[in-house]
Amino acid sequence: MEVTDQRVRQEVDKFMRGLVRRNPGEPEFHQAVLEVIESLMPLALENPQYREARILERMTEPDRVIIFRVTWEDDAGRIHADRAWRVQFNNAIGPYKGGLRFHHDLTLGVLKFLGFEQVFKNSLTGLPMGGAKGGSNFNPKGRSDREVMRFCQSLMVELHRHIGEDTDVPAGDIGVGGREISYMFGQYKRLANRFVGTLTGKGLAFGGSLVRLEATGYGTVYFMREMLRRIGEDVDGKVCVVSGSGNVALYAIEKLIELGGKVVTASDSEGFVHDPDGLDRDKFEFLRALKEERRGRIRELADAFSGVTFYPGARPWGVAADLAFPSATQNELGKDDARALIENGVLAVAEGANMPATHEAVHKLKAAGVLFGPGKAANAGGVAVSGLEQSQNALRVSWPHEKVDQRLGEIMREVHEKCVTYGEGPDGTVDYVRGANRAGFVKVAEAMLAYGAV
Ligand code: NDP
Ligand code: 2IT
């Protein structure tokens, strides 16, 4: 039968009905799968070997999900019982790899979307890494260092059985940074009685890699630079809106400033700040220390610098800009936000966060001809440098800053190139969503086909 658009639509709808029935109440997982299946269905219909081996069905079912209770005691002696998960999604091309998230409204559905996306992202990096994600509904906000330590140690008492340097290698994500990785690694090492690279994002004194801290943000900007270069443009002089002020947003902002971009916004869960003059090195350094060291609120940037305004409860997408970097959380950029960006003439969007744009927003931006770099390609630099940290740990070496940063730049160029190879249309424009999904898929699917029915 000919593969018409209508046939593709019918097959996508049928596939999604089954997926939603099997995974009720998990809208973010449905959304992430829909975006991928829309890109892959034409490929699956043209290649019967994928259909016969049920590759799409197998790739949308995690290998396993581990769920456990984490009991811990706060500073006042009160007992808490939080829930934690590890979703080991697919290890066809390497050990499971992906972050841990601590956020009060985390759900299994969110972790399944993140684990699913991670499979494609990790494949795109070209490194031998499978996909996983995990975390807890523990809320680290307002907790003392000792409370966070006790929580991390308790979590690791269970998690350590399921991870290992050749099995599953967790890292950071929302709410999990250097402090939490250190507590977890310290406890892992104690329980396993082995010093191996089972977590990445470690401190530099104990096996961490240079540039891992900055890698996701830098990598997102490198990816944006590649998209712009292809159309004869550059970051220099461009007005940039960034959301978030965590690990990803901070180092995207730093790299943008370095490359001559004018960053006019940053945000946290309470609102955004607008700086019409653009953040300079001083304001960036204030913001970095505010967020990384003092764990303060974004409004303090507006209190500290005249000319910077804080907008409570709002997102930055209404501010006119050439480039946008949603770098906070999922579904933070909806269709009305996309419309506002388009009306203000936005040229390109690179997702620093995972799935920050809704399905409707992505379609709107693409239809308007905006270059759109999806998270699984644009933010792959973080996990890529995690992969380089694994290599350094296995070799018991530490590579210099320049070497890791250079490798990160090369990997982001290669990720971009793969998106072009798989996403370029007859008119020469690139659908980066399709390109990333297909390029990420092919390698994993090849491995799964080779293994037979496993
Ligand atoms: P951080 O915890 O360092 O920062 C998260 C930022 O997003 C904070 O500014 C936070 O504000 C804001 N935020 C979190 N949840 C919400 C929410 N529900 N509504 C509004 N704002 C919110 O996390 P990261 O920077 O590490 O992660 C940001 C995104 O990037 C996530 O989507 C993550 O999955 C993705 N990512 C991270 C990588 C990494 O290496 N860390 C790699 C690739 C992707 P507040 O402090 O007020 O909560
Ligand atoms: O979403 C992601 O790619 C991450 N949070 C980083 C994962 C990793 O293993 O470094």
Task: Quote the ligand 2 centre to 389 CA distance (angstroms).
Answer: 12
Per-residue pLDDT tens digits for 189-199 = 999 999 999 99
Same fold, 64-194 and 215-378: yes
Atom of ligand 1 nearest to the CA of 270: 47
CATH class in words for 64-194: alpha beta
With contact defined as beta carbons under 8 Å apart, do 131 and 62 qualify?
A: no
Per-residue pLDDT tens digits for 325-339 = 999 999 999 999 999
Angle 371-377-378 from CA coordinates, rounded to 5°: 65
Task: List the 239-242 sheet strands across, edge first.
Answer: 262-263, 239-242, 323-325, 348-350, 371-373
Task: Supply the Cα-derived Rg of the chain in whole angstroms.
Answer: 21
Choosing from 107, 129, 247 the residue with most ligand 1 atoms within 8 A of its CB, the one to mutate for a pocket test is 247
Q: Which amino acid is at 296?
A: G
Per-residue pLDDT tens digits for 83-109 = 999 999 999 999 999 999 999 999 999
Q: Which amino acid is at 180?
A: E
- Residue written as tokens 């869960």? 269
| pLDDT category of residue 3 using cuts at 50, 70 and 90 | confident
Q: Return the structure tokens found at 241.
A: 């809106």
Angle 223-297-144 from CA coordinates, rounded to 5°: 105
Find out whether the beta carbon of 200 lies less than 6 Å from any atom of ligand 2: yes
* Residue 311: closest CA among 276, 350, 336, 346: 276
Q: Where are the domains of the chain?
A: 5-59, 64-194, 215-378
Per-residue pLDDT tens digits for 116-137 = 999 999 999 999 999 999 999 9
In sequence order, the 6+-apart residues with CB closer than 8 A to the CB of 345 are: 320, 322
Choosing from 200, 265, 269 the residue with most ligand 1 atoms within 8 A of its CB, the one to mutate for a pocket test is 269
Mean predicted lDDT score pLDDT of the chain: 98
Rounded average pLDDT over 383-403: 98
Query: What is the C-alpha to C-alpha distance for residues 359 and 342, in angstroms, rounded to an integer?
Result: 16
Task: Quote the ligand 2 centre to 171 CA distance (angstroms).
Answer: 6
Query: 353: which DSSP letter?
Result: S
Q: Reply yes or no on whether the pLDDT at 1 is more than 70.
A: no
* Residue 386: closest CA among 100, 86, 65: 100
Ligand 1 cavity residues, CB under 6 Å: 172-175, 177, 216, 244-249, 268-270, 327-329, 332, 352-354, 379, 382
Q: Reply yes or no on whether the pLDDT at 418 is more than 90.
A: yes
The count of other CB atoms within 10 Å of the CB of residue 38 is 19
Rounded average pLDDT over 134-143: 98
* Residue 170: closest CA among 116, 131, 209: 131
The count of other CB atoms within 10 Å of the CB of residue 147 is 18
With contact defined as beta carbons under 8 Å apart, do 327 and 248 qualify?
A: yes
Share of the chain above pLDDT 70, in %: 100
Q: Return the structure tokens found at 295.
A: 């764990």
Task: Quote the ligand 2 centre to 381 CA distance (angstroms).
Answer: 9
Atom of ligand 2 nearest to the CA of 212: 10
Residue owning the nearest CA to atom 9 of ligand 2:
98
* φ, ψ of residue 414 in degrees (nearest 5): -65, -40
3-state secondary structure of 26: coil
- Residue written as tokens 């996309």? 338
| pLDDT category of residue 77 using cuts at 50, 70 and 90 | very high
Catalytic residue list: 133
Choosing from 28, 87, 141, 174 the residue with most ligand 1 atoms within 8 A of its CB, the one to mutate for a pocket test is 174
Q: Reply yes or no on whether the pLDDT at 19 is more than 70.
A: yes
**Is it true that domain 215-378 has CATH number 1.20.1740.10?**
no
Torsion sign, CA atoms 421, 99, 241, 364: positive
Task: Quote the ligand 2 centre to 77 CA distance (angstroms).
Answer: 33
Task: Quote the ligand 1 centre to 248 CA distance (angstroms).
Answer: 7
- Kindly compute the dihedral angle of the four CA atoms of residues 351, 353, 358, 363, in this order, to the nearest 10 degrees: 10
Q: Which ligand is nearest to the CA of 117?
A: 2
Phi-psi region of 326 (alpha: psi -120 to 50; beta: other; left: phi over 0): beta
